[in-house]
Structure 1
Amino acid sequence: MFINVGILLSYVSNYAFAGLPVHTGWRVMFAVGALPPVFLAAGVLAMPESPRWLMMRGRYGEARTVLVRTSDTPAEADLRLQEIKQAVEAPRAAGSSGGVWKEMLLRPTKSVRRILVCVVGVLFFQQASGIDAIVLYSPLVFQKSGMSSNSAILGAAIAVGVVKTCFILVATLFSDRIGRRPLLLASAAGSAVTLASLALTLCAGATSTVSTAACVTSVLAFVAAFSVGFGPLAPAYSSEIIPLRLRAQGTSLGTAVNRVTCALVTMTFISLADWITMPGCFFLYAGVAAAAFVFVYLQLPETSGRSLEDMDELFAAM
């Protein structure tokens, strides 16, 4: 939620400082962006440590203290403590050895292999569907549609940020009620349709008010579709399915794939648009989103209502 609030604030700051001289404006924008990390650093000091990490280090008293703070009752905290303790001690009792990376990459069990495919896949598709091409280059897209006023372009970018932020709330409200899988499926399908729609609006030879409005509508529909599923639920889903003993390294691997894919999309968009045209780019992203729908349908089980300690059993049974 707050990542998207930050994106929205960056759009607002761009709009606010657009009237400054160019050599000053971009410096002010960067300076304003330096403030949030200061508050983040202060907030991290007040964060409790993960109870699972504490349990893995044998610090049971500190783990229980954190669980009491985050549970409804002390009895619930004790129950969760016992579940985590069993999950931590199971690999030791089984005599597992050789290290986490060997277990993940060299000799994975069937469940671990399925989990890694799901983690890497969902985090890859989140970025490969082109969301950052819209987040970073929406002014170029609006300009391509025929919008010429800088204030109108930056205002439309703010609308993108508002819609993106608001639809995160939809995922927040319904991810436990409806489930992760239905929202991810709806998000992938909606992204494919709206990206194809955006590509078609940009194919219009002569620009007009109608084509420009259709372009803006398609962009807003795409960020809405993305934000009800793939935006917030890809990292949430991937983090909750990795077994406790593999969580740090597994999450790091998935995040690395996610960030590399993001870098490839953002660094190639302009060159790709020159090569296959901007509509061609969005047809390509629409195809990726359609592939994401197939991937979610075939590979991702529902995890809503399951504890973190149940994931090995869930994926082993598939």
Structure 2
Amino acid sequence: MASLGAENTATDQRPKTLADFDPPQKQKLNKFAFACSILASMTSMFLGYDIGVMSGAAIYIKKDLKISDVEVEVLVGIINLYSLFGVAAAGRTSDWIGRRYTIVLAGATFFAGALLMGFATNYAFLMVGRFVAGTGVGYTHMIAPVYTAEVSPASSRGFLIINLYLL
């Protein structure tokens, strides 16, 4: 017992240096994880982009396709309902092909929906384009935070996840 106390006092007696009083160094931000987080957060902007474009284009769509006000309201707002299909399918798809490729698939799906809406000649064709674009939006809202959490180191995970919602 006496020897245990002697060992502790011997190690505690070493002289302290100025470096002993410095605060612990912060870990540097992983640049790869930060870049992946920024790119994943950009996919989450699809919904805002789509709603912004459709609100401006609704005037011209109504005039060109000769649709009623109710049909315009349904056209603009239905993407939120259609995105539920993408959300429901995103988990299984990401398990099958991986998170990164699911984000790529979501971008391609949204792009295909935008092309379909651009070439639409009637209301039904336009709604099919909205469905495809909405599915892509749902994919991104489900997978982007999960992908960012998986890529991020534990020391910066919270910062990078909140980045998704700030952009």
TM-score, normalised to structure 1, is 0.39
Q: Structure 2: how far apart are the matches of 1:98 and 1:118?
A: 24
From 212, 219, 231, the equivalent of 2:130 is 219
Q: Is 1:170 matched with 2:82?
A: no
Mapped pair 1:239 → 2:158: no
Deviations 1:176-219 (A, max 9, x none): 23321232221112222222332344xxxxxxxx4333222212
Distance of aligned partners of 1:113 and 1:192 in 2 relative to their CA distance in 1, 3 Å threshold: same
2:31 corresponds to 1:121: no
Describe the superposition over 1:112-137 as per-residue Cα deviations: whole angstroms up to 9, x where unpaired: 2211111112212431xx42133456
For 1:253 and 1:224, how far apart are their aligned partners in 2?
23
Structure 2: unaligned runs, 5 residues or longer: 1-22
CA 1:160–1:126: 2 relative to 1, 3 Å: closer
Give matches, 1:104-253, under 5 Å. Answer: 104=29, 112-127=30-45, 130-135=46-51, 138=54, 140-145=56-61, 146-201=65-120, 210-227=121-138, 229-253=139-163
Change in CA separation of 1:147 and 1:182 when aligned onto 2, cut-off 3 Å: farther
1:134 and 1:250 map into 2 onto residues whose CA distance is 24
CA distance in 1, matches of 2:117, 2:55: 14
After superposition, the Cα gap between the structure-2 partners of 1:236 and 1:186, relative to the gap in structure 1 and judged at 3 Å, is same
Bigger CA radius of gyration: 2
**CA offsets 1:63-114 (integer angstroms, 9 cap, x no match):** xxxxxxxxxxxxxxxxxxxxxxxxxxxxxxxxx94325xx11xxxxxxx221
Cα 1:197/1:174, change in 2 over 3 Å: closer
Query: How big is the shift at 1:171?
Result: 0.8
Q: Distance in 2 between matches of 1:232 and 1:170?
A: 9
Q: Deviation per CA, 1:208-265: give whole Å up to 9, x if none.
A: xx433322221221111232x3221112211222111222223334543x2xxxxxxx
> Which letter maps to 1:122?
A
Contact 2:41–2:165 (Cα < 8 Å) also in 1 = yes
Native 8 Å contact 1:142 1:216 kept in 2: no
Aligned length: 142
Q: Quick one: distance in 2 between partners of 1:239 and 1:189?
A: 22
Contact 1:139/1:153 (<8 A) preserved? no
Cα distance 1:225–1:117, how it changes in 2: closer, same or farther (>3 A)? same
How far, CA to CA, are the matches of 1:184 and 1:251 in structure 2?
16
- State the Cα RMSD in Å: 2.7
Aligned mates of 2:33, 2:117 — CA distance in 1: 34
Q: TM-score, normalised by structure 2?
A: 0.68
CA–CA distance in structure 2, aligned partners of residues 160 and 252 of structure 1: 24
Aligned 8 A contact 1:195 1:222 in 2: yes
Distance 1:125 1:187 in 2: 8
- The more displaced of 177-186 and 231-240 is 177-186
Output the CA distance in 2 between the equivalents of 1:254 and 1:126: 7
